[in-house]
């Protein structure tokens, strides 16, 4: 189960950038979950290239639900969602077969698959496959919301520009749910956009940090060893291409502090046990403590850039130079925000189903 994630709620991905379609099979969903095709479309739109700051490849991301949905609700059997590829220009990619792009999977894929991989547009490694992840996540996000569990991601940093931190979670999550460039401070959008356009102009690219918050999780989800909440979420999140770091709560900053500063004191507030601070990101001992789960992902700059780079020619086995042509993104951080939402939502559904059973997500 190499490209499958989850035991009780599982997602299996398939598809290549220039093949017939990309898609996902989601199994283990509770029966009776309303499937909102408009919401799926909205989520796919958020992931789509956006004007001048993205690749020129434009697709409607028309999706087809092949199975597992009947009369607008999940049946409880596997849901296959398929997104046909449309705007493919394979001619752009023939040079790529021999000249491997630094920072990209071209070289490792050629070695792993012995040259049989579909190299066009990154093939199965293409960020396009994340459209399937988004469609899958969009199936479960409304169901989680109906149980009081919300997920939201903002770009906390991009090209060196900082967004403000979460303040009033409820209001901030509403703002992010409304769509648009995923930041909390409206002025950050302009500054970040400028960095992206600069990068494009320089034939270069920029990275950033995504911060995801989950509210409403019950206490007691996750396991002490291996299937910790941190372990399960990070396992899934590192699938998002370009993510090279994952941290929870204060994460790496905790390394430089003391126990007295890092510990979150418990208090009884309105008859409910809470922590006064949330340095641990809602997780103690691998298990949710009912405070918001906070996870941040480092997104590296897109590896495909127009600048001339040193590379090798796989066929000649010689040194060579590469200037990527084709269409590519100078930044994918903002597009990846909705992917992070969806990956986190799917991984949590698996943990929740393991603890409470399959039907829990659908129970009223």
Shorter beta-carbon distance to a copy of itself: residue 178 or 260: 260
Q: Tokens for 254?
A: 């905790």
User: Is the CB of residue 210 less than 8 Å from the CB of residue 336?
Assistant: yes
Q: Tokens for 298?
A: 């480092």
Shorter beta-carbon distance to a copy of itself: residue 125 or 166: 125
Q: How far apart are CA 117 and CA 243, in angstroms?
A: 22
User: Is the CB of residue 328 less than 8 Å from the CB of residue 196?
Assistant: no
Least distance in angstroms from the C-beta of 324 to a copy of itself: 10
Shorter beta-carbon distance to a copy of itself: residue 65 or 177: 65
Angle between helix 130-146 and 37-47 (nearest 10):
130
User: Is the CB of residue 315 less than 8 Å from the CB of residue 259?
Assistant: no
DSSP H or E segment with residue 230: helix 229-237
Q: Where would I find the H helices in 29-129?
A: 37-47, 106-112
Nearest to 42 by CA among 146, 137, 154: 137
User: Is the CB of residue 212 less than 8 Å from the CB of residue 153?
Assistant: yes
Shorter beta-carbon distance to a copy of itself: residue 170 or 224: 224
Shorter beta-carbon distance to a copy of itself: residue 236 or 338: 236
Shorter beta-carbon distance to a copy of itself: residue 174 or 201: 201
């Amino acid at each position: 189960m190499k490209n499958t994630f989850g035991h009780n709620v599982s997602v299996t991905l398939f598809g290549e950038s220039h093949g017939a379609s990309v898609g996902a099979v989601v199994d283990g969903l509770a029966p009776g979950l309303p499937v909102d095709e408009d919401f799926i479309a909205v989520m796919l739109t958020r992931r789509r290239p956006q004007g001048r700051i993205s690749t020129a490849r434009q697709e409607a991301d028309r999706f087809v639900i092949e199975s597992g949905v009947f009369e607008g609700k999940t049946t409880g059997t596997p849901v296959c969602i398929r997104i046909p590829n449309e705007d493919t220009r394979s001619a752009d990619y023939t040079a790529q077969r021999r000249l491997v792009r630094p920072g990209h999977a071209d070289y490792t894929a050629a070695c792993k698959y012995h040259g049989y991989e579909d190299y066009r547009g990154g093939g199965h490694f293409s960020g396009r496959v994340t459209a399937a992840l988004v469609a899958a996540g969009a199936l479960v996000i409304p169901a989680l919301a109906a149980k009081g569990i919300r997920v939201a991601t903002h770009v906390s940093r991009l090209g060196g520009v900082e967004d403000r931190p979460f303040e009033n979670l409820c209001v901030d999550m509403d703002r992010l749910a409304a769509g648009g460039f995923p930041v909390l401070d409206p002025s950050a959008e302009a500054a970040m956009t400028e960095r992206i356009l600069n990068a494009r102009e320089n034939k270069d690219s920029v990275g950033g940090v995504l911060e995801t918050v989950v509210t409403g999780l019950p206490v007691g989800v996750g396991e002490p060893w291996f299937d910790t909440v941190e372990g399960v979420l990070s396992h899934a999140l590192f699938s998002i291409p370009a993510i090279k770091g994952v941290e929870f709560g204060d994460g790496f900053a905790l390394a430089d502090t003391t126990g007295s500063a890092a510990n979150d004191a418990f208090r009884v507030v309105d008859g409910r046990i809470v922590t006064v601070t949330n340095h641990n990101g809602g997780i103690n001992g691998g298990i949710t403590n009912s405070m918001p789960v906070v996870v941040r992902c480092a997104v590296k700059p897109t590896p495909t850039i127009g600048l001339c780079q040193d590379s090798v020619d796989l066929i000649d086995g010689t040194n060579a130079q590469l200037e990527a042509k084709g269409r590519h993104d100078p930044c994918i951080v903002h597009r990846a925000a909705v992917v992070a939402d969806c990956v986190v939502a799917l991984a949590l559904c698996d943990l929740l189903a393991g603890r409470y059973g399959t039907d829990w997500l659908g129970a009223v």
